[in-house]
């Protein structure tokens, strides 16, 4: 199947199985109407520290207009971004999790239920707990979609066990990869002009590991085998993979801008953004499964006639 055929089939399948939208719609409705988790008190503490640092520098040295403006911009950015973030938005796990857009709605502390975190330790623990739950939701969402493509579908207890097992596999991958990414980005700040090589390495890793979540859930593979499957599929289908992932990113980002504008309008606009984002996000997630499955079948057919060394399933 071509890239366009893969995307077309994915959208057609979602149109016939609209119940798949229940995951992202329910998550966005929770983020929209449910309680909000604000870190505004922590941000206020950080702003006080910045103001104190700026005052100390001004008293010890000749005031620098450029430094003062930089601190002012940082404070304003923290107030308008971090200060209005709903920490529950971490449940979505970005592009690899449940498609979500309502997490971008700023927290209005005058409306609804708002829980506030005032300590750095509490903020860290809340982030870890929310992301752990979000990872479980992401695996459940991807597993349910994968079942639509499997010949031997699982139900009930077998499906639940599969979700828990795959969630454990995903955690085994996420923790070291996340720690490595944080270290790499932190180390790149010391490289100066050579930091571009760190960016290239991150992009290379993201490309070759793009299909790991799908390999975990569709083929019920372990962590190492899922890594090898994703790496092998991209290596043997490099330009089709690049073209497919670029097209998926363009569609997601382009329509995301439109849905983001709708979030700033009336409640009807927000509802349209939630449903539209759920439909597009689910279809693109399903397209990732279809692309991987088709390429794996193609590789198996080729290796079965050769030496059969690649056995991803």
HEC profile of 68-118: HHHHHHHHHHHHHCHHHCEHHHHHHCHHHCCCCCHHHCCCCCCCCCEEECC
Per the rule left: phi > 0, alpha: psi between -120 and 50, beta: everything else, 150 is beta
The pLDDT of residue 233:
95
* Euclidean distance between the first and the last CA atom of the chain, given in angstroms as a whole number: 20
Q: What's the token pair of residue 183?
A: 């270290």
- 305, pLDDT greater than 60: no
User: Mean of the per-residue pLDDT values for the chain?
Assistant: 87
Q: What is the pTM assigned to this prediction? A: 0.87
Contact (CB, 8 A) for 29 and 274:
yes
Contact (CB, 8 A) for 168 and 226:
no
- 53, pLDDT greater than 80: no
Percent of the chain with pLDDT over 90: 56
- 310, pLDDT greater than 50: no
- Residue 137: CB partners within 8 Å, gap ≥ 6? 23, 27, 91, 93, 97, 98
Residue with tokens 């944080």: 182
Assign 24 a pLDDT band (cuts: 50, 70, 90): very high
- 161, pLDDT greater than 70: yes
Q: Rounded distance, CA 310 to CA 313, Å? A: 9
Instruction: List alpha helices for the chain, DSSP H.
Output: 3-16, 22-33, 40-60, 65-80, 120-147, 156-188, 195-208, 212-218, 223-236, 238-263, 267-304
Q: Rounded distance, CA 25 to CA 100, Å? A: 8
- 3, pLDDT greater than 70: yes
- 307, pLDDT greater than 70: no
**Around 37, how many Cα atoms within 13 Å sit in the side-chain half-sphere?**
18
Assign 308 a pLDDT band (cuts: 50, 70, 90): very low
Higher pLDDT, 30 or 194: 30
The pLDDT of residue 228:
95
The pLDDT of 29-36, averaged and rounded, is 94
The pLDDT of residue 60:
63
- Residue 94: CB partners within 8 Å, gap ≥ 6? none
CA 167-199-174 angle, to 5 degrees, is: 10
The pLDDT of residue 313:
45
């Amino acid at each position: 199947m071509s890239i366009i055929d893969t995307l077309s089939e994915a959208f057609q399948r979602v149109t016939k199985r609209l119940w798949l939208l229940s995951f992202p719609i329910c998550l966005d409705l929770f983020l929209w109407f449910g309680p909000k988790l604000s870190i505004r008190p922590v941000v206020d503490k950080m702003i006080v520290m910045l103001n104190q640092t700026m005052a100390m520098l001004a008293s010890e040295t000749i005031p620098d207009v450029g430094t003062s403006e930089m601190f002012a911009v940082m404070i304003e950015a923290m107030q308008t971004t971090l200060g209005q973030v709903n920490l529950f938005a971490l449940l979505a796990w970005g592009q690899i999790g449940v498609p979500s857009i309502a997490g971008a709605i700023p927290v209005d502390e005058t409306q609804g239920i708002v829980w506030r975190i005032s300590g750095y330790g509490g903020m860290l623990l809340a982030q870890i707990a929310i992301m752990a739950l979000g990872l479980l939701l992401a695996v459940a969402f991807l597993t349910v979609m994968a079942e639509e493509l499997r010949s031997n579908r699982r139900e009930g207890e077998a499906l639940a066990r599969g979700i828990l097992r795959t969630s454990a596999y995903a955690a085994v991958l996420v923790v070291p990869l996340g720690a490595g990414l944080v270290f790499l980005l932190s180390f790149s700040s010391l490289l100066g002009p050579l930091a571009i090589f760190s960016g290239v390495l991150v992009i290379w890793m993201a490309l070759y590991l793009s299909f790991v979540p799908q390999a975990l859930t569709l083929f019920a593979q372990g962590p190492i085998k899922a890594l090898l499957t994703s790496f092998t599929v991209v290596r043997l289908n490099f330009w089709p993979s690049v073209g497919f992932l670029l097209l998926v990113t363009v569609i997601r980002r382009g329509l995301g801008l439109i849905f983001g504008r709708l979030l700033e309008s009336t409640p009807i606009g927000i509802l349209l953004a939630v449903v539209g984002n759920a439909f597009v996000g689910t279809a693109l997630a399903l397209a990732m499964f279809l692309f991987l499955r088709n390429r794996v079948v193609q590789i198996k057919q080729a290796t079965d006639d050769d030496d059969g060394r690649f056995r991803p399933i």
